[in-house]
Amino acid sequence: MRIMQKHTVYFVLLISLLFTSFRPASAALFPRLGHRAVEEDMADMVAVEAPADTLDKLLEEMIDLRLRADSLQHLLDGMELSAIAEEQAAAERVAVDTLPTDDKFIKIVLYSDNTWQYVDYGRPVINDEIFGDHWDNENIHAYRDVTLKDIPDEVDILLVDSLHHAVAPFVGRVNSKYAFRSNVGREHQGTDIKLNTGDPVMAAFDGKVRIVASSSLTGGYGNLVVLRHSNGLETYYAHLSKVLVKENDLVAAGEVIAYGGSTGRSTGPHLHFETRYLGQTFDPERIFDFTTGALQDTILTLHKHYYSIYSHNSQSDTESLAASQRIVHTIRSGDTLGALARRYQTTVSAICRLNGIKSTTILRVGRRLIVR
């Protein structure tokens, strides 16, 4: 519509310009409308030269101009029609298939009218600050020099908006939560989700592959992928049977990056999934409900006390804060529950309650007990 209006305006301007420039000619043809001087000039010319010839010549010129204007109008009409035809075709055509290209973020879309086009499916936004700072393809943990003291008390992490989405890496039963495993005295810094070897594991957010490492290098993690995301988080995917990405690849949220397995320290096929901010772990269930795949919220406000292994998604923020202030003691040779209770100004029964043990439980050296 806009094209047509513009062309019509051009056409009218062009025609007025032609008639203005050739006013002497029009004055000669229509003497009563012309200037007296022109009329006189023309009268002289007509008088001196053959009037029929001059009129013919002028008429020829007029016809020629008219033809040129007509052909211009035809050209403009043609442009309008082709624009309208394109619009109609775009409205009527239906995408019938997509084909991959060398670039995984660009696909060829085929339409029902046998046309096709490249469609950009959205490349991850790679923010130089996040991907330039502590970028490390060698060490599993990149932020080893960042301590809790360096981390803000509160930080808002964007999980999803109109341009970014989030996908649970695997939807399934949670076998083991983010927790201090008091029975073995070890921290479990991620969420274990049950799967079968070979099940697809997906990138949680858009991002870039920082680490791909095999069992021989990672120990307990088995085959491991670490991704860094534009929202500032890092996610770890462990015990994988096969990895499909390589270091520095860009990945899209929901992209299959690996197949699950049971490599490393694992008693059966599962995905060990960690979420970290500047190297500090927090409960991944603060982001996903792994049993449904649903996001808990669109933005996650990370409080400093969330980075404690005693802080869980199921707690209120007050409970989380209290839990994060717990004190843990690593058993040394000669330690007794009575001595620990005195040292940490608590009671034997309180220590037993916090750790799920009995006062008669034998304290293995190296075991960690919550003492308060």
Q: Which residues in this chain contact Zn ion in the complex, by CB under 5 A?
A: 190, 192, 272
Buried b (16+ CB within 10 A) or exposed e, 181-200: ebeebebbbbbbbbbebebe
Using DSSP bridges, classify how beta strands 280-282 and 328-330 pair: parallel, antiparallel or unpaired. unpaired
64 by Cβ neighbours in 10 Å (0-12 / 13-18 / 19+) ranks as exposed
State the minimum distance, in angstroms, from the CB of residue 214 to Zn ion. 18
- Token duo for residue 153: 């008390």
φ, ψ (nearest 5 deg) of residue 36 = -65, -45
- Return the number of the residue (76 or 243) whose C-beta is nearest Zn ion: 243
State the minimum distance, in angstroms, from the CB of residue 219 to Zn ion. 13
- Return the number of the residue (210 or 272) whose C-beta is nearest Zn ion: 272
State the minimum distance, in angstroms, from the CB of residue 173 to Zn ion. 13
- Return the number of the residue (109 or 140) whose C-beta is nearest Zn ion: 140
State the minimum distance, in angstroms, from the CB of residue 294 to Zn ion. 21
State the minimum distance, in angstroms, from the CB of residue 188 to Zn ion. 6
Contacts of 299 (CB under 8 A, 6+ apart): 156, 157, 158, 159
State the minimum distance, in angstroms, from the CB of residue 292 to Zn ion. 20
Buried b (16+ CB within 10 A) or exposed e, 147-169: eeeebeeeeebbbbeeebbbbbb
- Return the number of the residue (191 or 230) whose C-beta is nearest Zn ion: 191
Q: Residue 265's closest CA among 209, 203, 202, 189?
A: 189
Q: Give the number of other CB atoms < 10 A from CB of residue 179.
A: 16
- Return the number of the residue (134 or 272) whose C-beta is nearest Zn ion: 272
CA atoms in the 13 A half-sphere facing the CB of 294: 5
Residue with CB nearest Zn ion? 272
- Return the number of the residue (190 or 284) whose C-beta is nearest Zn ion: 190
